[in-house]
Amino acid sequence: MRTKVVIVVSCLALAFYFVLLGRLGVGLIGTGNWAGVLLGVALVLLPLVGAWAVWREIQFGRATARLGGELAAAGQLPVDDLERTASGRVDRAAGTALFERYRAEVEAAPADAGAWFRLALAYDAAGDRRRGRAAARHAVKLHAAR
């Protein structure tokens, strides 16, 4: 629940920021000066691109939460019992071992959304967030296609 509140508050703050940028952009367009018009157009487009990016991330979060919930209900998510460092991060050796396990699972069943989701969790545990998000996106794509 706390995460949802943070997301809503962040989106409201971004919406306020986007409105301010849009108003500034419209004002610059109204100057008639070519430099003002170009900057104004950029300031109007920036909130649109930002809103699209936020919407896309929210959709990604909802889709991964839905897939994760289904996998959890089916007992197909790994138990988080990995060794951790004093700072709370997953021990690198434990994260690597988990990654190797789920990489082999994906190689054995490349069309399994659950395997890709578990691989995404393993990437995250190993500290590779970029590849973890890519694996999660692929898992969502496979899940939607079935």
Which tens digits make up the pLDDT trace of 31-86? 989 999 999 999 999 888 988 998 999 999 999 999 999 999 999 988 777 778 78
In this prediction, residues 121-136 reach a mean pLDDT of 89
Amino acid letter, 37: V
Domain that holds residue 108: 92-145
**Domain containing 100 — which CATH number?**
1.25.40
CA–CA gap between residue 107 and residue 11 (Å, rounded): 38
Residues 69 and 98 in one domain: no
In this prediction, residues 9-33 reach a mean pLDDT of 91
- On the question of pLDDT at 27 being above 90, the answer is yes
- In a domain, residue 84? The reply is no
Give phi and psi for 99, each to the nearest 5.
Answer: -60, -45
Predicted local distance difference test score (pLDDT) of residue 128: 85
Residues 9 and 69 in one domain: yes
- In a domain, residue 7? The reply is yes
- On the question of pLDDT at 140 being above 90, the answer is yes
Give phi and psi for 90, each to the nearest 5.
Answer: -65, 135
